[in-house]
Amino acid sequence: MQQQLASIVATARQESAAVTTRAEMEAFKARVMGPNGSLTQVMKGMGSLSKEERPVVGRLINEAKREVEDLLAALLAKVEDAEIGSALGAPADPSLPPPDAPAGSAHPLSRTRERILASFRKLGFTVAEGPEVETEWHCFDALNTPADHPARDMQDTLYLPASFRSADAPRKGTEAVLLRTHTSSVQVRTMLSRKPPFRIVAPGRCFRRDAVDATHSANFHQVEGLWIDRQVTLADLRGVLDFFVKETFGPEAETRLRPSFFPFTEPSFEMDLRSPNLGRLSGRWLEIMGCGLVDPKVLELCGLAPQEWSGLAFGLGLERIAMLVHGIDDIRHFYANDARFLRQFA
């Protein structure tokens, strides 16, 4: 019986070498392992063996079966390769990239962010970052925003449950933790951790309990700017922002500063933009960012002497800028992941 099995395996090995198609492979499998296959016949003969012979022969049969299964696995790989090769008109080369791989591209918000950062880099600003999950102190108190300010209301700001309270604030006790409502918290972290003078821009995600519509999202992006130095003036603010606007919207773009209020800047402004290249918005004054000179109280809270240091700060909405640059009429397009929309910016 041992000889019989050896000859079955030897024949199978010989025959398998001649197999080239899937049909031939199936026929080969049936000849050996099918209901009337050569190996199956031997297995059926097990019944006539004595009790002592059975385990010995069983082991031999299993070995032969495994060899035939290995042959079949190799045949399947060979046949599949041949099938792919004939479908492609050439032998398959698994190291090649998929022929129809679509080229990816940066998201329009990422592209706008990089463009904005590139403008500010030209003026010596470097990129800084801060956490999206922030303490109430970094987001509000250190920015001179009083406890009863409406922005601190649960209706406007997403607070984390009390179990998330943090000790990461330079004041006694633990602090409430929230999703930052603006990137101005990076101003605070930078002033606390770096020695002036410095100029930073901080891009990042912000969160507010705003109702979602064509111009508002509950999760949006800002780019913050902060320049701390000796004798920073409003002329510097105008110069920096004018440069950025002309780089982004073209040399014909004009800016204007309109008095406004933020607890962390004094004086504070909204900056408006007017440009002849903005489609149906051409020629209209459009509000694009908040800005001002850093309030001396904020410098003090962040450990800088207001007699020595001064600064300018600004914060713009990335989506709003991208919408203006590309003539996009609804902020929700940015988050819908619709390739037809995204491909237009590739």
> Residues interacting with ligand FA5, by CB under 6 A?
182, 184, 208, 210, 216-217, 220, 222, 224, 262, 265, 289-292, 313-315, 317, 319-320
Residue 38 or 112: which CB sits closer to ligand FA5?
112
Q: How far apart are CA 187 and CA 23, in angstroms?
A: 71
Residue 65 or 221: which CB sits closer to ligand FA5?
221
Tokens read off for 122: 């030209």
Residue 42 or 223: which CB sits closer to ligand FA5?
223
Residue 210 or 300: which CB sits closer to ligand FA5?
210
User: Which of 230, 273, 283, 218 has its CA nearest to residue 248?
Assistant: 273
Residue 174 or 215: which CB sits closer to ligand FA5?
215
Residue 57 or 324: which CB sits closer to ligand FA5?
324
Would you give the end-to-end CA distance of the chain in angstroms?
A: 70
Residue 113 or 208: which CB sits closer to ligand FA5?
208
Residues 6+ apart with CB under 8 A from 139: 157, 178, 180, 181, 182, 184, 185
Q: How far apart are CA 343 and CA 346, in angstroms?
A: 5
Residue 303: CB minimum distance to ligand FA5, A: 19
Residue 94: CB minimum distance to ligand FA5, A: 46
Q: Give the chain's largest Cα–Cα span.
A: 106
Tokens read off for 290: 């908040």
CA distances from 56 to 2, 24, 50, 67, 232 (A): 10, 33, 11, 17, 94
Location of structure tokens 């080239």: 20
Residue 273: CB minimum distance to ligand FA5, A: 11
Q: How far apart are CA 296 and CA 307, in angstroms?
A: 9
Amino acid at 93: D
Nearest residue to ligand FA5, using CB? 317
Element (H, E) at 205: strand 198-207
Amino acid at 259: P
Amino acid at 159: Y
Residue 259: CB minimum distance to ligand FA5, A: 12
Residue 233: CB minimum distance to ligand FA5, A: 16
Residue 25 or 316: which CB sits closer to ligand FA5?
316
Residue 194: CB minimum distance to ligand FA5, A: 17
Tokens read off for 241: 């922002």
Q: Residue 313, Cβ neighbours under 10 Å: how many?
A: 25
Residue 329: CB minimum distance to ligand FA5, A: 14
Residue 280: CB minimum distance to ligand FA5, A: 19
Tokens read off for 231: 């004798």
